[in-house]
């Protein structure tokens, strides 16, 4: 019974009395008058709202439902002419299918509503309770579908991108219950990536229900030309995961042929593995991740998309942390390049900013944390470190602070938490920021910039910075930002003279720093990425359910 999931609802469940099954056509409301029902609705709104206060995740403000009823003078939403509106059955069906979006049907009271609908002789009070519970369920689901159920910063303080909308509230003010229910699909994020992910979630959920996982046994690496039962397992697993399309063409299942090699390369590419067409230990480990686990990963990323704005700007900068890339979309053109992001102990946060200016030949004012943790130990080992690497030191962070001679300071006498000097690195070829930095002012002091450490872009996994994002081709990035405008000439002049120059951008651009561990690739297949900051573990802990268990409990 669904009621077992709701400890606060004991009193409500007692009101239900004995339940008996009946089909929809048998359910006709008995004599209570419209005024009796409306009076009961008014009495039950606050009582039922308190009993059904959402639990877990992001609790929906009850005032939203209360205001919706008050605006219609507490007329019931789901009962007209003494008859249950059939749209409530459609609502229950939709709520039971919420697992297809990675949400948990338990949160939307579908089982409780079914118990009310099974009552043969509901009282006015029971009808009122059902009406209010259905509205709470509708409001909660519409909110969660459009905004996400969970508060991102409660899951991860470094996740600062949350763009809630209020469109879901408008749904409660639509006049008819039928139109309310029919409007629910419109609240789903319209981004194509969400749509593809959601379809794949259903695929994995259905597949896991129908079939057992086909796992590849451990052993020596499998390569082209090999034969045996492990090759057959490999082939069957790639068919199951969609990397090999099912064919009626006869094939030797136990032979590692060219077609199997090509399919395995596709699998390796979309799992960020070395795409050598050989099934070594890492590839087999990835092949053997269960369908249920993959479904959970997809669910986490659907929730992340619900935290995004409902529409993305056509012109934007997209910093994709899990693929270590930066894409600039500007005037219908796309500029893409590799990036280096923050290391695990200095994670690049997820947030949105607005890029407003760039700096040519920047000085680097070293943040307190980096000065304490990185620079001070180097100074204690070598008092000439600042001079050798082109740094200046000032007495404090205040304007007009006095420049000091770094070689006359006893660095070994300074504790880490006592360091109060300001350090700046002058513009030159060894400057940590390179020749450019691109600014979108934010509380995290994160920006995009050049780097002299070009060799890091040859690495597959590029989490090496102290939080800021380093660009592989900053020259190209700067040109695209300024071409066709006077700022282009300003930039060229600054590059020629080597002068430190601040250049306001002709077009302000939104900058998204995003983190998705499952994304559709260009072919519509899923790309499973390395969870470099272990944020999926935080999602699992917060969401705390399996989509399959939630599905089976209803």
Q: What is the pLDDT of residues 278-321, one digit of tens each?
A: 999 999 999 999 999 999 999 999 999 999 998 999 999 999 99
Inter-residue long-range contacts of 535-540, CB under 8 Å, 24+ positions, other chains counted? 535/156, 535/159, 536/297, 536/300, 538/155, 538/156, 539/155, 539/300, 539/303, 540/296, 540/300
pLDDT tens-place string over residues 481-492: 999 999 999 999
Q: How many CB atoms lie within 10 A of CB 521?
A: 12
Token pair, residue 503, equals 């250049």
477 in the same domain as 361: yes
Which of 162, 194, 226 is the last residue before a domain boundary? 194
Q: How far apart are CA 136 and CA 138, in angstroms?
A: 5
Question: Rounded to two decimals, what is the model's pTM?
Answer: 0.86
Residue-wise pLDDT for 363-378, tens only, equals 998 888 889 999 999 9
358: helix, strand or coil: strand
6: pLDDT strictly greater than 60: no
CA–CA gap between residue 357 and residue 339 (Å, rounded): 20
- Percent of the chain past pLDDT 90, that is, above it, reads 75
Claim to verify: residue 175 and residue 54 sit in the same structural domain = yes
Q: Are residues 87 and 235 in the same domain?
A: no
* CA terminus-to-terminus distance, the chain: 8
CA distance 152 to 538: 10
pLDDT tier at 80, thresholds 50, 70, 90: confident
Predicted pLDDT of residue 11: 36
* 435: in domain: yes
Residue at 524 is within a domain = no
Q: Do the domain assignments include residue 521?
A: no
Residue 302 maps to a domain: no
Domain of 272, CATH number, reads 1.10.101.10
> For residue 500, what is the domain's CATH number?
2.40.440.10
Q: Does 75 lie in the same domain as 104?
A: yes
174-205 tens-digit pLDDT = 999 999 999 999 999 999 999 999 999 999 99
How far, in Å, CA of 278 to CA of 231, rounded? 11
| pLDDT at residue number 251 | 87
pLDDT band at 21 (very low <50, low <70, confident <90, very high): very low
Higher-pLDDT residue of 31, 246: 246
Place of tokens 């990963």: 297
Partners of 319 in the β-ladder: 326, 513
pLDDT in tens, 331-366: 999 999 999 999 999 999 999 999 999 999 999 988
Instruction: Let me know whether 80 and 175 are in one domain.
Output: yes
* Structural domain total, the chain: 3
Considering the domain boundaries, does residue 527 fall inside one? no
Cβ proximity of 393 and 414 under 8 Å: no
Mean pLDDT of 490-511: 95
Q: Which domain holds residue 437?
A: 311-514
Q: Check whether 159 has a pLDDT greater than 60.
A: yes
Looking at the structure, tell me whether residues 249 and 167 fall in a common domain: no
Q: How far apart are CA 547 and CA 309, in angstroms?
A: 25
What's the whole-number average pLDDT of the chain? Answer: 88
Which of 289, 323, 342 is where one domain is finished?
Answer: 289
Quick check: 470 and 450 in contact, CB under 8 A? Answer: yes
Q: What are the E-state strand segments in 333-457?
A: 333-342, 351-360, 364-365, 391-394, 403-404, 422-425, 436-439, 448-449
Q: Are 164 and 226 in a shared domain?
A: no
The residues annotated as belonging to the active site are: 449, 468
**Residues 253, 173 within the same domain:** no
Q: Is residue 523 part of a domain?
A: no
126, 116 Cβ separation under 8 angstroms: yes
Q: What is the pLDDT of residue 8?
A: 35
Residues 247 and 373 in one domain: no
- Is 374 part of a structural domain of the chain? yes
Give pLDDT tens digits for 34-66: 565 556 777 777 777 777 765 444 455 567 898
> Are residues 260 and 392 located together in one domain of the fold?
no
Evaluate if residue 435 carries a pLDDT over 70: yes
- Shared domain for 430 and 396, answered yes or no, is yes
Rounded average pLDDT over 428-454:
94
Same domain, 365 and 246: no
Residue with tokens 């130990």: 377
Distance CA 27, CA 351 (A): 51
In a domain, 49, yes or no: yes
Measured CA distances, 526 to 200, 313, 323 (Å): 8, 24, 14
């Amino acid at each position: 019974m669904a009621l077992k999931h709701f400890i606060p609802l004991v009193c409500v469940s007692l009101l239900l009395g004995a339940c008996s099954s009946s089909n929809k056509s048998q359910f006709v409301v008995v004599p209570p008058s419209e005024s009796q029902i409306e009076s009961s609705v008014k009495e039950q709104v606050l009582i039922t709202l308190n009993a059904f206060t959402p639990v877990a995740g992001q609790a929906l403000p009850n005032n939203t439902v209360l205001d919706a009823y008050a605006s219609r003078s507490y007329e019931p939403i789901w009962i007209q002419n003494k008859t249950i509106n059939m749209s409530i059955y459609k609502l229950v069906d939709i709520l039971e299918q919420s697992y297809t979006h990675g949400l948990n049907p338990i949160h939307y009271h579908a089982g409780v509503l079914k118990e009310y609908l099974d009552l043969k002789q509901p009282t006015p009070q029971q009808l009122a309770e059902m009406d209010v519970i259905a509205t709470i369920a509708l409001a909660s689901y519409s909110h969660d579908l459009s905004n996400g159920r969970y508060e991102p910063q409660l899951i991860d303080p470094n996740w600062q991108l949350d763009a809630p909308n209020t469109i879901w509230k408008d749904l409660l003010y639509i006049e008819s219950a039928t139109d309310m229910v029919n409007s629910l699909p419109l609240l789903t994020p319209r981004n194509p990536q969400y749509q593809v992910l959601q379809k794949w979630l259903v695929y994995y959920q259905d597949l896991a229900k129908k079939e057992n996982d086909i796992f590849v046994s451990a052993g020596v690496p499998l390569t082209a030309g090999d034969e045996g039962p492990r090759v057959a397992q490999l082939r069957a697993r790639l068919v199951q995961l969609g990397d090999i399309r099912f064919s009626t063409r006869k094939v030797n299942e136990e032979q590692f042929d060219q077609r199997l090699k090509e399919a395995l390369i596709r699998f390796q590419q979309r799992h960020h593995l070395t795409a050598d067409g050989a099934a070594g230990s890492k590839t087999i480990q990835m092949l053997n991740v269960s369908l249920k686990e993959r479904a959970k990963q997809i669910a986490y990323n659907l929730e992340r998309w619900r935290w995004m704005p409902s529409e993305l700007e056509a012109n934007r900068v997209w910093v994709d942390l899990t693929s270590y890339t930066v894409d600039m979309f500007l005037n219908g053109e796309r500029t893409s390049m590799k990036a280096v992001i923050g290391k695990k102990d200095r994670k690049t946060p997820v947030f949105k900013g607005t890029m407003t200016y760039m700096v040519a030949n920047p000085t680097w004012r070293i943040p307190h944390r980096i000065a304490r943790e990185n620079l001070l130990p180097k100074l204690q080992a070598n008092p000439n470190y600042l001079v050798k690497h082109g740094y200046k030191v000032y007495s404090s962070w205040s304007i007009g602070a006095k420049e000091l001679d770094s070689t006359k300071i006893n660095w070994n006498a300074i504790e880490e938490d006592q360091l109060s000097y300001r350090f700046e690195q002058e513009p030159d070829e060894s400057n940590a920021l390179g020749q450019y930095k691109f600014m979108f002012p934010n509380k995290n002091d994160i920006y995009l910039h050049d780097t002299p450490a070009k060799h890091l872009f040859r690495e597959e996994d590029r989490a090496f910075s102290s939080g800021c994002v380093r660009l592989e081709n900053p020259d190209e990035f700067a040109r695209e930002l300024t071409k066709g405008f006077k700022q282009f000439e300003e930039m060229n002049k600054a590059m020629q003279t080597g002068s430190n120059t601040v250049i306001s951008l002709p077009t302000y651009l939104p900058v998204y720093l995003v983190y998705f561990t499952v994304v559709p690739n260009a072919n519509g297949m899923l790309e499973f990425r390395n969870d470099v900051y272990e944020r999926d573990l935080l999602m699992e802990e917060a969401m705390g359910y399996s989509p399959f268990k939630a599905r089976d409990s209803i």
